[in-house]
C-alpha cells in the first residue's frame, strides 16, 4: 500500500488531526490499568509537537452507543498523556461543534488538544459523512495511528480522509503496514507461521479465513494451543477431555488438505502439557500426543514440541506468531509459551529473523514473559490484524492512499445531467437510482446534477454507493465572484468528482486550457477528483489532427501539476462531434485515442500512474453501444449525457459494465 507517512508532511503551524486508539482498560475507580495504547502513540505525538504542529487528537473509548456516558470520558487519557509528554493536554467538552472549533482555532504551535470520546455520537460508528466533515473542519492535515480500528469504516477512521489533501499514517500505523503488509505481500523466506490460541479463547472457527491465507503464503505452519486439539482429533487422535471443536473437524481436515496441496509443511505437536483440571493449581504432566490420557486436559505444547519448533525455526527468515502455545495465564502452564517467546526473541537478535507478534493474547503473552521489545514488531490490532492478514482491504488504510496507484482501474459510470431536471425531479430520480443501480465493488457510479440540486441529491444518495459530481467548479476559494462555486463548498455539499473543461463549457463559456488548469489545481487542493474532459471537433478529426488537439488539451490541463499535488484524476475523452448527436466514435477509434491518452500520461507521470488512471468515453454512449466500447482495453467507463437521464438506460449501461471482466 502506497501510503505516505508523517515524515513526508510539512506540519509546522498546521492543525494536525490524529486518529488514535486510546481505548485503554480502566480499573473500577476509573484509573488507567494499562497505558500501552497511549505509549504506543507517543512517537507520532512527539513528532507533531517537535515539528511545531497544532496537535488535535481524537479517539473512541468503550462502547457508549452514541450516548454521553461520563464514565467513558477520555479525561483519564488526557491526564495520563499530559504526564507522559510533560505538557498540558486540553480535553474538549465534545468532539464537534462551535466551542470545539473555537478551541482548535485558538491553538498555538505545539499545543495539544484531545477531543472528547468520538463514540458519544452515534454518527461515528455509522460512518456518517456530515459528522466526518465536521471533524475534518477542525484540522488541515489528517494522520491515522489507530490500527486497532482500521477494519471499521467509521467516520473518523476512513470517511474523514476524503476531506483532506494531506493524509498520512503515523509511526504506529506505518509499522503495522510495513511489517504485516510486507510479510503478507513479499515475505523474506522461509516464512513460518505459528497458529495457536489458548484453549478457552481463539477457536479454529474464528480463524479459518486467516488460516487459509497463511497456508497460502507460509512455508511452514506450527500448530499449538487449542487449535492443536481439533487438528489432532481430525487425524483420529483421541484427545479425551481436552477442549476441542468437534464440529470443526471438517474445517481442520480442509486445512490439512490445503496445506498438502500447497506444499506447506504443517507441524503438529508431538507432545502436550496436560492438567488434571482446567485451573492453575492442579496436577500436570507431559504426554506424547498419540498417547494422551483421556482423563486429562491438554493445556499446551510439551518440551519435545518446543525443541522441534526451535529446530524448524532455525533456517526461517520471517515468523508470524498468532496465539499462545499454552494457557499462559495460569503461571503453572506458562513455561512452554515463554520458551517459544524466548526462542523467537533469540533468533530475532541473533540471526535477524523478522518476528511479527499478533495482537491480543500473543502480545499479552510476550509481555508477561518480559520479552516485549525484543521482536521486530508487536501488532496493536486484534481483529484488524486478522483482517489485514486475510488480505482484506482495511478502510482505515485504504483511505490513506486515495490515489490508489496500484495499476488497477474500476469502471466509472458517470451521469452528466447537464441543465436538466428541477430539484424536485432530481430528488425523485435520485430515489429511483438508489433502488435500481447495482451495488458492485468493481463499478463506481457517479451522478452530476445541476448545482442547486447537488445537496438534496446528495442527501438521498449519501449512504449509497453512488457518488456525487459537479458539472463545473471555480478556482478561487471565496469572495466577490458572482455566480461561481468553489471546490470547498462543493465538497461540503457532498461532491466527490468535478467535471472540468466539458466541451460545452469550452464552446459557450470561454473555458480554455488555462482555466481548466486552474480549476484542476483548486479541486486537487480540496482532495476532490477532477474529471477532465478532452476531445476534438469534427473538422479537426477530418483534418486528421485529433491526436494533436487532445495532446494539447491534456498538456495544458495538467501543466505544472505534479504527482505530489495529490494528483488523482479521471480523463473523459468526448469527441465533440459525438456529443448529443447520436453519432458515436467506433470502438476502434475510441480505443485508439484512449491508448494514446494513456501513453501521454505515462510520458508525464510514469507507468504506474498511467495504468491506474481511468479514461472514460463520452458521446452518445448508450445501452446499445456500451458493450463494444466498454470492453476495449483502455476504456474504463463512460461520461454519459442523454442516457443518464433515464433510469433504465443508465442502469443498463452500469449492468453491462458489471458483466465485463478485463
Ligand atoms: P451524450 O451522452 O448526451 O452524447 O453527452 C455526452 C456528454 O457530453 C457527457 O458529458
Q: Determine whether the shortest distance from the Cβ of 146 to ligand 1 is under 6 A.
A: no
Closest-CA residue, ligand 1 atom 5, reads 641
Of 612, 322, 644, 350, give the one whose Cα is nearest residue 471: 644
Q: What is the pLDDT of residue 491?
A: 94
Gap from CA of 524 to ligand 1 centroid (Å): 24
User: Rounded to 5 degrees, what angle do the CA atoms 563, 466, 611 make?
Assistant: 30
Gap from CA of 580 to ligand 1 centroid (Å): 6
Q: Are 582 and 620 in contact (CB under 8 A)?
A: yes
Ligand 1 atom showing the smallest separation from residue 644 Cα: 2
Of 141, 140, 139, 121, give the one whose Cα is nearest residue 131: 121
Q: Are 544 and 583 in contact (CB under 8 A)?
A: no
* Average pLDDT score over residue span 160-178: 88
Q: b/e per residue, 210-242, with b = 16+ CB within 10 A?
A: bbbbbbebbbbbbbbbbbbbbbbbbeeeebebb
**Where is mean pLDDT largest: 214-218, 248-252, 542-546?**
542-546
Closest-CA residue, ligand 1 atom 1, reads 641
Q: Determine whether the shortest distance from the Cβ of 646 to ligand 1 is under 6 A.
A: no
Q: Is the pLDDT of residue 79 over 60?
A: yes
Going along the chain from its start, the domains and CATH numbers come out as: 6-169 (3.40.50.1260), 184-386 (3.40.50.1260), 413-658 (3.20.20.70)
Q: What is the pLDDT of residue 201?
A: 46
pTM, entire model: 0.65
Q: Are 256 and 208 in contact (CB under 8 A)?
A: no
Decide: helix, strand or coil at residue 529: strand
User: Which residues belong to the active site?
Assistant: 502, 574
* Average pLDDT score over residue span 146-165: 91
* Average pLDDT score over residue span 601-626: 91
Q: What is the pLDDT of residue 247?
A: 81
Q: Residue 379 contacts by C-beta under 8 Å, 6 or more apart in sequence?
A: 147, 176, 179, 180, 356, 357, 358, 359, 363, 385
Reported as a pLDDT band with limits 50, 70 and 90, residue 598 is very high
Ligand 1 atom showing the smallest separation from residue 499 Cα: 10
User: Rounded to 5 degrees, what angle do the CA atoms 485, 96, 478 make?
Assistant: 20
Q: What is the pLDDT of residue 30?
A: 87
User: How long a stretch of residues is the chain?
Assistant: 662
* Average pLDDT score over residue span 119-128: 97
* Average pLDDT score over residue span 329-346: 96
Decide: helix, strand or coil at residue 446: strand
Q: Is the pLDDT of residue 199 over 50?
A: no
Q: Is the pLDDT of residue 210 over 60?
A: yes
Of 151, 185, 183, 144, give the one whose Cα is nearest residue 58: 144
Q: Which residue among 537, 642, 646 is best mutated to probe the pocket of ligand 1, counting the most ligand atoms within 8 A of its Cβ?
A: 642
Closest-CA residue, ligand 1 atom 7, reads 641
Q: Is the pLDDT of residue 67 over 60?
A: yes
Gap from CA of 539 to ligand 1 centroid (Å): 19
Q: What is the pLDDT of residue 9?
A: 78
Gap from CA of 638 to ligand 1 centroid (Å): 9
Helix and strand totals (H; E) in the chain: 26, 23
Of 42, 26, 121, 47, give the one whose Cα is nearest residue 81: 42
Closest-CA residue, ligand 1 atom 2, reads 641
Q: Determine whether the shortest distance from the Cβ of 641 to ligand 1 is under 6 A.
A: yes
Q: Determine whether the shortest distance from the Cβ of 469 to ligand 1 is under 6 A.
A: no
Gap from CA of 650 to ligand 1 centroid (Å): 12
H/E run at residue 309: helix 303-313
Decide: helix, strand or coil at residue 26: strand
Q: What is the pLDDT of residue 464?
A: 87
Q: Is 209 exposed, middle or buried (0-12, 13-18, 19+ CB in 10 A)?
A: middle
* Average pLDDT score over residue span 388-406: 77
Q: Are 511 and 501 in contact (CB under 8 A)?
A: yes
Q: Is the pLDDT of residue 472 over 90?
A: yes
Phi, psi angle pair for 448, to nearest 5°: -115, 95
Amino acid at each position: 500500500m502506497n501510503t505516505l507517512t508523517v515524515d513526508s508532511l510539512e506540519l509546522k503551524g498546521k492543525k494536525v488531526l490524529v486518529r488514535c486508539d486510546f481505548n485503554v482498560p480502566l480499573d473500577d475507580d476509573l484509573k488507567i490499568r494499562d497505558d500501552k495504547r497511549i505509549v504506543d502513540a507517543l512517537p507520532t505525538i512527539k513528532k507533531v509537537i517537535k515539528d511545531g504542529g497544532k496537535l488535535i487528537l481524537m479517539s473512541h473509548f468503550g462502547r457508549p452507543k452514541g450516548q454521553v456516558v461520563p464514565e467513558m470520558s477520555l479525561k483519564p487519557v488526557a491526564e495520563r498523556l499530559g504526564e507522559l509528554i510533560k505538557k498540558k493536554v486540553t480535553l474538549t467538552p465534545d468532539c464537534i461543534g462551535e466551542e470545539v472549533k473555537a478551541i482548535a482555532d485558538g491553538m498555538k504551535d505545539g499545543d495539544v488538544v484531545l477531543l472528547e470520546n468520538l463514540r458519544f455520537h452515534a454518527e461515528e460508528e455509522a460512518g456518517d459523512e456530515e459528522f466526518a466533515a465536521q471533524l475534518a473542519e477542525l484540522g488541515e492535515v489528517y494522520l491515522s495511528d489507530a490500527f486497532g480500528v482500521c477494519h471499521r469504516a467509521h467516520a473518523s477512521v476512513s470517511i474523514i480522509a476524503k476531506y483532506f489533501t494531506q493524509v498520512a499514517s503515523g509511526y504506529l500505523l506505518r509499522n503495522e503496514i510495513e511489517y504485516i503488509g510486507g510479510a503478507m505481500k513479499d515475505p523474506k523466506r522461509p516464512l513460518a507461521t505459528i497458529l495457536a490460541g489458548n484453549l478457552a479463547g481463539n477457536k479454529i472457527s474464528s480463524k479459518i479465513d486467516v488460516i487459509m491465507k497463511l497456508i497460502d503464503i507460509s512455508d511452514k505452519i506450527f500448530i499449538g494451543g487449542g487449535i492443536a486439539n481439533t487438528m489432532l482429533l481430525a487425524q483420529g487422535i483421541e484427545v479425551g477431555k481436552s477442549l476441542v471443536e468437534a464440529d470443526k473437524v471438517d474445517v481442520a481436515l480442509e486445512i490439512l488438505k490445503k496445506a498438502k496441496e500447497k506444499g506447506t509443511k504443517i507441524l503438529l505437536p508431538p507432545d502436550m502439557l496436560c492438567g488434571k483440571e482446567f485451573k492453575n493449581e492442579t496436577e500436570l504432566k507431559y504426554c506424547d500426543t498419540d498417547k494422551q490420557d483421556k482423563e486429562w486436559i491438554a493445556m499446551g505444547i510439551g518440551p519435545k514440541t518446543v525443541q522441534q519448533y526451535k529446530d524448524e525455526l532455525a533456517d526461517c527468515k520471517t515468523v508470524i506468531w498468532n496465539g499462545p502455545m499454552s494457557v499462559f495465564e495460569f503461571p503453572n502452564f506458562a513455561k512452554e509459551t515463554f520458551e517459544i517467546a524466548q526462542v523467537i526473541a533469540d533468533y530475532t537478535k541473533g540471526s535477524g529473523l523478522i518476528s511479527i507478534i499478533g495482537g491480543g493474547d500473543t502480545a499479552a503473552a510476550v509481555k508477561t514473559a518480559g520479552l516485549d521489545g525484543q521482536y521486530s514488531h508487536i501488532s496493536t490490532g486484534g481483529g484488524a490484524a486478522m483482517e489485514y492478514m486475510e488480505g482484506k482491504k482495511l478502510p482505515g488504510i485504504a483511505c490513506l492512499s486515495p490515489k490508489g496507484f496500484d495499476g488497477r482501474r474500476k469502471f466509472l459510470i458517470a451521469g452528466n445531467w447537464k441543465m436538466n431536471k428541477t430539484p424536485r425531479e432530481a430528488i425523485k430520480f435520485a430515489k429511483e437510482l438508489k433502488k435500481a443501480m447495482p451495488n458492485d465493488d468493481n463499478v463506481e457510479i457517479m451522478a452530476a446534477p445541476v448545482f442547486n440540486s447537488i445537496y438534496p441529491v446528495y442527501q438521498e444518495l449519501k449512504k449509497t454507493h453512488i457518488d456525487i459530481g459537479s458539472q463545473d467548479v471555480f478556482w478561487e476559494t471565496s469572495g466577490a465572484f458572482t455566480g461561481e462555486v468553489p471546490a470547498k463548498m462543493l465538497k461540503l455539499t457532498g461532491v466527490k468528482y468535478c467535471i472540468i473543461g466539458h466541451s460545452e463549457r469550452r464552446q459557450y463559456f470561454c473555458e480554455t486550457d488555462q482555466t481548466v488548469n486552474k480549476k484542476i489545481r483548486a479541486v486537487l487542493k480540496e482532495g476532490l477528483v477532477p474529471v477532465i474532459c478532452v476531445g476534438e471537433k469534427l473538422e479537426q478529426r477530418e483534418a486528421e489532427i485529433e491526436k494533436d488537439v487532445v495532446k494539447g488539451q491534456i498538456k495544458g490541463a495538467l501543466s505544472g501539476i505534479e504527482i505530489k499535488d495529490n494528483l488523482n484524476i479521471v480523463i473523459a475523452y468526448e469527441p465533440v462531434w459525438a456529443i448529443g448527436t447520436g453519432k458515436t466514435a467506433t470502438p476502434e477509434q475510441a480505443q485508439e485515442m484512449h491508448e494514446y491518452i494513456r501513453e501521454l500520461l505515462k510520458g508525464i507521470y510514469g507507468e504506474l500512474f498511467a495504468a491506474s488512471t481511468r479514461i472514460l468515453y463520452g458521446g452518445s454512449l448508450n445501452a446499445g453501444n456500451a458493450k463494444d466500447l466498454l470492453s476495449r482495453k483502455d476504456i474504463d467507463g463512460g461520461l454519459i449525457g442523454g442516457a443518464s437521464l433515464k433510469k433504465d438506460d443508465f442502469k443498463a449501461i452500469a449492468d453491462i459494465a458489471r458483466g465485463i471482466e478485463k
